[in-house]
Amino acid sequence: MSDFSINNALTAYNNSIKLGQQAGIGKTEIETPGFSSMVEKAIDTSMQTLRAGERASIGAIMDEVTLDELSIAVSSAESTLRTAVAVRDKVISAYQDIIKMPI
């Protein structure tokens, strides 16, 4: 029967990590998007949704879009606009809280 101890287990684990790194395993770098790119993507998506609502409204006037498609597009655009306004309000509130902090 082999002698089991925490030290032996940790040594074996560290050795396996070293061997894996030498073989190129675990060296993949995951690129995480920055805050600005996340905000930019959210704004782009919001603008696309709002433009789709506008296109649906124009299409309904020209009798090219059904009433169902129009109501879905307008509801989606309205939801996006409400979300953008709520985020804006939270950002302004956070900014005001930061300004009120003593230095």
| Residue pLDDT, tens place only, 45-97 | 999 999 999 999 999 999 998 999 999 999 999 999 999 999 999 999 999 99
34 token code pair: 């920055």
- The residue with greater pLDDT, 74 or 15, is 74
Residue 28 confidence (pLDDT):
54
Closest by alpha carbon to 55, among 76, 41, 39?
76
Quote the CA–CA distance of 1 and 6 in Å, as a whole number: 16
Handedness of CA 30, 34, 35, 37 (dihedral sign): negative
Residue bearing tokens 């124009």? 58
Count of C-beta atoms within a 10 Å radius of residue 100: 7
pLDDT confidence bin for 1, thresholds 50/70/90: very low
pLDDT in tens, 22-58: 666 655 555 667 888 888 888 899 999 999 999 999 9
User: pTM score, two decimals?
Assistant: 0.59
Q: What is the mean pLDDT of residues 13-26?
A: 68
6 has a pLDDT exceeding 80? no
Alpha helices by DSSP H, 1-103? 6-22, 35-61, 67-100
Residue 57 confidence (pLDDT):
93
